[in-house]
Amino acid sequence: MKRRRSVARAAKTKPGKNAAPPKCAPKLALGQLDRHLGYFLRRLQIWVFQDFIETLRSMKVRPAQYSVLLLIEANPGRSQAVIGQTLGIERARLARLLHEMERRKWVARRASGSDARSHSLHLTADGEKELAKIKSLAERHEARLADHVGPKRHRQLMDLLRDFG
Amino acid sequence: MKRRRSVARAAKTKPGKNAAPPKCAPKLALGQLDRHLGYFLRRLQIWVFQDFIETLRSMKVRPAQYSVLLLIEANPGRSQAVIGQTLGIERARLARLLHEMERRKWVARRASGSDARSHSLHLTADGEKELAKIKSLAERHEARLADHVGPKRHRQLMDLLRDFG
DNA sequence: CGCACTTTGTTGTCAATGACAACATTCTGC
DNA sequence: GCAGAATGTTGTCATTGACAACAAAGTGCG
């Protein structure tokens, strides 16, 4: 199916308001897909991330940043290497994440006394203040997640996955 | 911490063999992180995808492609729109995925009788043959996953997530 | 019928992310 | 002291998600 390419790109698509109601989900067979844990894991994980990002949009915080902030809060003074290993974030990526958080004055990198190569990571006073707001929003997200999957299932999943990790 | 930039980039980093054994995991406190289902969900999901990709590396099949192949197999003749909606894959991305699978002669797009806009998706004979191999590898992956999380937990997670979806 | 609007598939583009390489600096083990 | 490892930094590339704009075709309504 070849279609012509046009050069002019000017006409805006303005949404009208006499649209038909959206069609229901067509309910296809999943086939072998429903024997794969990874498939369901990923579906739920996508929902979780999207809700998290939406909930924390006002703070402009993404899941990776949030996890780094929490880990610095719980383990002040540690190095980038240790934080990255714990979260599974690669060195290069963490360096850039911290660069951004330092620019926002949420995180301070101090020289480590014991190792001149590494940085000792701390939250600034600003960072702690912002993190309090962020955690409050994150709790709201978690509540919505519990509501989405059902409180009982939420508890069960949490127990299963936490024990495993 | 400013560091000089150099221009010459020639010296290779050759790994030696008198390295110290890798340090053990430093076991940091997770703080609030361990109250978030999304965190554990994501950790496991990353493991799953990496193992899947590694297991199917020889076939050069990634999770998204695999899910599309399975869905076409289970629902031959459906349109791209329906497949994409079911899997949560955006139209544009699915078009490019299918372009690749068509190039590999695994998938055929036929004209739909009822709607000249849409394509009717089918596996080719080649596609079915390859998919058989792919499914066999995918089962091996799933077995490894069950071993990783524990067979009992694997069953429980599967039940919880499948019922929910 | 004509018209407005939607739907489907396509391509272009951008941002976020993961992965990896190369580097300066510093540490460690011998 | 030295080779090699570790740490943090920057550069680059591939994949992915998201969105916009488009042509072609369907839908509903006057």
Region B61-86: mean pLDDT is 96
Q: Which helix (H) or strand (E) holds B87?
A: helix B80-87
Q: Which nucleotides of C are covered by protein (CB under 7 A)?
A: 4-13, 16-30
CA-to-CA distance for A30 and A85, rounded, in angstroms? Answer: 36
Through-space separation of residue B13 CA and nucleotide C30 C1' in angstroms = 20
Query: What count of other Cβ atoms lies within 10 Å of the Cβ of residue A158?
Result: 18
Region B90-102: mean pLDDT is 96
* The pLDDT value given to residue B9: 35
* The pLDDT value given to residue A15: 39
Q: Which helix (H) or strand (E) holds B63?
A: helix B63-74
Fold of the CATH domain B51-164: Arc Repressor Mutant, subunit A (1.10.10)
Region B141-162: mean pLDDT is 96
Chain A partners of B36 at a C-beta cutoff of 8 Å? 138, 142
Q: Please name every residue paired with A120 in a beta bridge, in sequence order, or none if there are none.
A: A110
Region B83-94: mean pLDDT is 95
Region B35-63: mean pLDDT is 95
Region B59-63: mean pLDDT is 95
* The pLDDT value given to residue A115: 92
* The pLDDT value given to residue B27: 82
The pair of three-digit structure tokens given for residue B81, joined into one six-digit string: 């729109």
* Cβ pair B138, B55 in contact under 8 A: yes
Region B32-58: mean pLDDT is 95
- Which position has the higher pLDDT, B26 or B117? B117
Closest chain A C-alpha to B17 CA, distance in angstroms: 22
Closest chain B C-alpha to A50 CA, distance in angstroms: 11
The pair of three-digit structure tokens given for residue A111, joined into one six-digit string: 């020289």
> What pLDDT band is residue B25 in, cutting at 50, 70 and 90?
low
Q: Which of B88, B39, B32 is nearest to A165 (CA)?
A: B39
* The pLDDT value given to residue A25: 61
Low-confidence ranges of chain A (pLDDT < 70): 1-26
Locate the domains of chain A by residue range: 43-164
* The pLDDT value given to residue B164: 80
Q: Which of A44, A43, A92, A52 is nearest to A70 (CA)?
A: A52
- Which position has the higher pLDDT, B96 or B15? B96
Chain A partners of B138 at a C-beta cutoff of 8 Å? 32, 36
> What pLDDT band is residue B165 in, cutting at 50, 70 and 90?
confident
Through-space separation of residue A54 CA and nucleotide C5 C1' in angstroms = 30
Q: Which of A66, A75, A64 is nearest to A136 (CA)?
A: A66
CA-to-CA distance for A37 and B154, rounded, in angstroms? Answer: 8
Residue nearest to nucleotide C4 (CA to C1'): A16
Chain A partners of B69 at a C-beta cutoff of 8 Å? none
* The pLDDT value given to residue A163: 85
CATH tag for A43-164 (out of 2.60.40.10, 3.30.2010.10, 1.10.10.10, 3.40.640.10): 1.10.10.10
- Of the candidates B25, B31, B160, the beta carbon closest to that of A74 is on B31
> What pLDDT band is residue B98 in, cutting at 50, 70 and 90?
very high
Closest chain B C-alpha to A18 CA, distance in angstroms: 22
